[in-house]
Structure 1
Amino acid sequence: MPQPPTADPRTGKVIATLALAGVTAAVMQTLVTPLLADLPDILHTSHSNSAWVVTATLLVAGVCVPVSGRLGDLVGKRRMLLACCLPLIAGSVVCALSSSVVPMIVGRGLQGIGMGMIPLGIALLRDVLPAERLSSSIALVSASMGIGGGIGLPVSAAVAQYASWRLLFWGSAALAVTVAAMIVAFVPEVPPAARGQRFDVPGALGLATGLVCLLLFVSKGADWGWGSATSLALISAAVVVLAGWGWFEWRTTDPLVDLRTTVRPRVLLTNLASVSIGFGMYASMLVIPQLLQFPAATGYGLGQSMLAAGLWLLPGGLMMMVVSPLGGKLTNARGPKVTLASGALVLAAGYAAALLLDGTAPGLMVAVMVVNSGVALAYGAMPALIMSAVPLAETGAANGFNALMRSLGTSVGAAVVGVVLAQMTTTAGGVTLTSEAGFRTGLVMGGGFALLSAAIAAFIPAPHLPLPAVQDPSDPSTETAASTARA
């Protein structure tokens, strides 16, 4: 019986590489935030067309993340990590050279292809790390998305304000090149656990079609009108296609996503909690930056510049870096279920702080620090819960599907909270703005979904076994261990 890996001098470099990969992916997601108001002028297009610069990344990432995870199980996670770096580099270069909207959208779509690095990196940790370092490393790499967003926003704002916006994309290309070089140098090759299985092409096409319809409805429905013919056609197509996809996946051999695994209570409830956490996290990202930047003349806005607002939010990103290792220790001591529930409750406490302390920038900074601490705990626990319930041959696909659930939560959160902020308005100086009641409602909704996630986590059953030790896929006993893990 193969033994779990022991401490290796490269272990720290592997963790650092995968954490930097997560930070890079997060930076690329938030890269255009400081540019949103200026994109129509930069790209010589309309506001509605420039919005596709954000939507393209969301759509492509939603489709590619679960596919990348499954390919990692089939051909090797290290190989797929390197493959994800290529579109990140190419997309960044295309965006840096763009002067119109179409190439910018193409570049942002290429960047979306590379977002599968996060679930791939988390799944790879199970293959290469000793058991005693697994929980804390999963927590750190999982939280790297939030860390990158928290650090990347003020840096992007500063670059956009004081230098050329093109430097943002040249910088992201350099980051991606650095990650690729570190993967080559430090990340070991591990034989793929699902070698010999086929790739489910019909399943990938079906999931892509259904997700594009669903995500387009969620992200653009407010612009097109929720009851418009286009929106109704998209949501109807999403329901029909995803239902057919589920029927096919349940019956096919070597599916893209093993639905028999995903309906097990431990996996199903974790994914449901992921959707709620994603919603809860994004509500703060949508509300608090606007409160910081709204005109002080409104009586509730704080009149901060984009750069100043980013600096007030920066400690929240740093808190994720501090809290992630603590979440790993809590998982080792009490299990990932307790860590997930604790993270959801801390997230809810952050919203309570935002409601009580929203009169000052320092108060909102404290609220964001609490919110991000909860996100760090929750995001570190969810992959540990998933990997303790799926066989080794499915870790990449299962983590990719869980990342998709979080993305759906953030997408739905953006749509729902966006509608609330757009509908609850006030007029000041002839200009229509979101009202204070609208912002408060958005914060209450975020806290409510955080509490819902805590309630869901309370019902997650305990595992039959601890987080499975790393197995050697070439060893005959691996299949026996994987079968046990399925129980």
Structure 2
Amino acid sequence: MATMALAADRSDQRPATIPQASYGPLAVLALAQIGTSSDSAAMNLATASLVGSLGATLDDIQVATALFSLIAGAFMIAGGLVGVTIGLRRGLAAGLSMALVGELIATLSPNIAVFTWGGRVVMALGACLVTPAVLGLVAALYQGRQRAIAFGTIAGAAALSTLSPLALGAVMDQAGFRLTFAIMAACFAIVLCCTRLVPATPPAGRHARFDVAGTAVAALGLGLALLGVSHLSDWGILAPQKMCPFTVFGMAPTLPAIVAGLLLLGLLVPTERRAERRGNPLIPTVFVTSKGVRAGLAAVFVPFFYMGAVGILATPYLQLVTGFTALQTGLLSLLSGIPMFLLATFLPKLAPHLSSRLIIRAGFVALACACGLMALGVQQHGVTLPLFLGMALGGFGVGAVNSQANNAVACSVSREEAEQSGGIQGAARSIGLALGTALAGTCLLLTMAGGFTTLAVEGGVQHDLMAAATDRASTLMADDAFDELTAQWGASEDQAAKLVEAKSAAQSNAMRLTFGALGCVVLLSLLTTRNLVETAVPKSPGKTLGTERAESATRA
């Protein structure tokens, strides 16, 4: 099996658990988390500036966004192994350095190609090192209640970054993308300088050699699967759509890519068994066989799946259909961001004795109810109060689950394996976000197009107008904008009214159906919670069940 020796600083000694008062290193880790999360917010806000300054097209920007997500999902697990191979602090510093370079390339980009294939690629690779290192260092440096509080703080930092569009949006509007990404580069430089405050953890001895074969198989498998899923809506599922770049035996390449990716991931099992016999697996067997780990990863996955889906549903509908401005939409992020931050950060500290399993279940139920409220709040020509209540309730649900999920994974394995679990937890985040975005978007577009055709036929729309209108049926659009298109098609006043009515009804129905489907998926996720490790602190002095299991696994 192909392996590659990596240099390791073995002079470092593994530190003991940090005293309760010593949360300084946690501040550095939280800032690193805020930085990587805020970068995505900056990219989402940069569309207009990139179009104006670099002459980018919307397709160019979609490629830049999709490429980042693809790399993050494919290489996050490998980033976890790199961290434990060279030392987690060194891995964090390397990731922050790459993020700094990536932001500088983005700042100085002369064209969109350099911005995408230079800045975004380097930034994505940096994120693949930073996220696993942050989660791994929390597992390495804190134990028991301190670890629960630390993981909650990191989850709160991620939630806090959802509010960054308010500040970054103002900079983007006034000065453009260059100053915005320059500020991000400065932030990463500051955090990089602060990494010396983080105690060093030595490389684990059994990871002295790097699992090249496992990394290649996992990256290629995840990359192909995510590539196929992310293009279901624009390339097509079976029949190729207009934007499909090529075909595979006459069909869209999405399903073949997904199948090929899943087959490669299946090959990863025997590959990792051989690697474990050599003592250097990318994915230790316990990550696959442990019911507690699988349940914990599901708890990590679901909130990000939910956020990806809501992001592709609510924001475009508010802006394109109801006419909300970018600033108004950003202010609405406070509805979910504030409760998300408060629960994720303070729940482990203020309520350490509450059952972690119960909290995660309550969070799942809150997310499902939030989907129901948002479905009720979507109306044919706008939105009503239940949608905003649903957004707030969703923030409570995400915050509750995120306050416990990472600790549930870490407490299911030994300390050394917990350090490496940062990679697979980061992958669960990235994959959840990508799948939520792709599947919700695909569901919305398919139901919207099918619903429009049915409603237009039932409403008596002329056949010649149907052909022109069908091409725009799967695009979210305000009534006035669609009415202008009907005039271009030569529709009479009566036919135009019927087309607008069918379009507005189809897109509101599709939104409600997609929100309903999302709620059902979240409810089904409750089935995964029965095997969660209980990490609550007993009211009597002692250890959590998760800590006892971890120490038992370490002794074994």
Band of TM-score, shorter chain: 0.7 to 0.9
Contact map agreement 2:309 2:439 (CA 8 A) in 1 = no
Out of 201, 204, 212, the position equivalent to 2:212 is: 201
Distance 1:397 1:292 in 2: 40
Query: Is 1:418 equivalent to 2:406 in the alignment?
Result: no
The aligned counterpart of 1:466 is 545
One-letter amino acid matched to 2:397: G
Distance 2:86 2:355 in 1: 31
Distance 2:366 2:270 in 1: 38
| Identity across the alignment (%) | 22
Q: 1:35 to 1:118 in 2, by over 3 A?
A: same
Distance 1:236 1:196 in 2: 31
Greater alpha carbon shift after TM alignment, 426-435 vs 169-178: 426-435
Query: Which has the higher Rg, Structure 1 or Structure 2?
Result: 2
Contact map agreement 1:7 1:130 (CA 8 A) in 2 = no
Distance 1:102 1:342 in 2: 45
The aligned counterpart of 1:138 is 151
Tell me how far 1:363 sits from its aligned partner: 5.2
Query: Is 1:259 equivalent to 2:285 in the alignment?
Result: yes
Distance 2:194 2:49 in 1: 35
Contact map agreement 1:18 1:121 (CA 8 A) in 2 = yes
Out of 508, 517, 520, the position equivalent to 1:448 is: 520
The aligned counterpart of 2:139 is 126
Q: 1:147 to 1:449 in 2, by over 3 A?
A: farther
Distance 1:197 1:87 in 2: 23
Distance 1:382 1:157 in 2: 31
The aligned counterpart of 1:474 is none
Distance 2:546 2:139 in 1: 9
Distance 1:465 1:162 in 2: 51
Distance 1:237 1:41 in 2: 39
Contact map agreement 2:134 2:422 (CA 8 A) in 1 = no
Tell me how far 1:385 sits from its aligned partner: 1.1
Tell me how far 1:287 sits from its aligned partner: 1.7
One-letter amino acid matched to 2:200: E
Query: Is 1:291 equivalent to 2:321 in the alignment?
Result: no
Give the match's secondary structure for 1:252: helix
Out of 411, 421, 444, the position equivalent to 1:398 is: 421
The aligned counterpart of 1:369 is 392
Distance 2:385 2:109 in 1: 38
Contact map agreement 1:73 1:394 (CA 8 A) in 2 = no
The aligned counterpart of 1:475 is none
Q: Which has the higher contact order (CA 8 A, sep 6+)?
A: 1
Contact map agreement 1:341 1:458 (CA 8 A) in 2 = no
Distance 2:531 2:207 in 1: 36
Query: Is 1:245 equivalent to 2:271 in the alignment?
Result: no
Distance 1:38 1:245 in 2: 42
Distance 2:23 2:534 in 1: 30
Number of aligned pairs? 467
Structure 1 residue runs of 5 or longer lacking an equivalent are: 296-300, 472-477
Tell me how far 1:341 sits from its aligned partner: 1.4
One-letter amino acid matched to 1:256: L
Q: 1:232 to 1:360 in 2, by over 3 A?
A: closer
- After TM superposition, the score normalised by the length of structure 1 is 0.87
Deviations 1:265-290 (A, max 9, x none): 11122223443333222222222212
Tell me how far 1:8 sits from its aligned partner: 5.5
Contact map agreement 1:421 1:439 (CA 8 A) in 2 = yes
Distance 1:152 1:462 in 2: 33
Distance 1:437 1:360 in 2: 13
Aligned-residue RMSD, C-alpha: 2.8
Q: 1:157 to 1:470 in 2, by over 3 A?
A: farther
Contact map agreement 1:6 1:129 (CA 8 A) in 2 = yes
One-letter amino acid matched to 1:323: L
One-letter amino acid matched to 2:390: A
Distance 2:296 2:415 in 1: 18
The aligned counterpart of 1:226 is 237
**In the TM superposition, what are the counterparts of 1:36-185 in structure 2 within 5 Å?**
36=47, 39-105=50-116, 106-116=118-128, 117-129=130-142, 131-148=144-161, 150-184=162-196
Structure 2 residue runs of 5 or longer lacking an equivalent are: 1-13, 239-246, 453-472, 474-481, 486-502, 536-542
Tell me how far 1:311 sits from its aligned partner: 1.3
Greater alpha carbon shift after TM alignment, 25-34 vs 462-471: 462-471
The aligned counterpart of 1:298 is none
One-letter amino acid matched to 1:36: T
Distance 1:224 1:422 in 2: 12
Give the match's secondary structure for 1:199: strand
One-letter amino acid matched to 1:458: R
Q: 1:372 to 1:312 in 2, by over 3 A?
A: same
Distance 1:366 1:181 in 2: 41
Out of 271, 283, 288, the position equivalent to 2:297 is: 271
Q: 1:143 to 1:469 in 2, by over 3 A?
A: farther
Deviations 1:179-232 (A, max 9, x none): 112222x21112234465321111111111111111111112332222242324
Tell me how far 1:34 sits from its aligned partner: 2.0
Contact map agreement 2:18 2:141 (CA 8 A) in 1 = no
Q: 1:329 to 1:356 in 2, by over 3 A?
A: farther
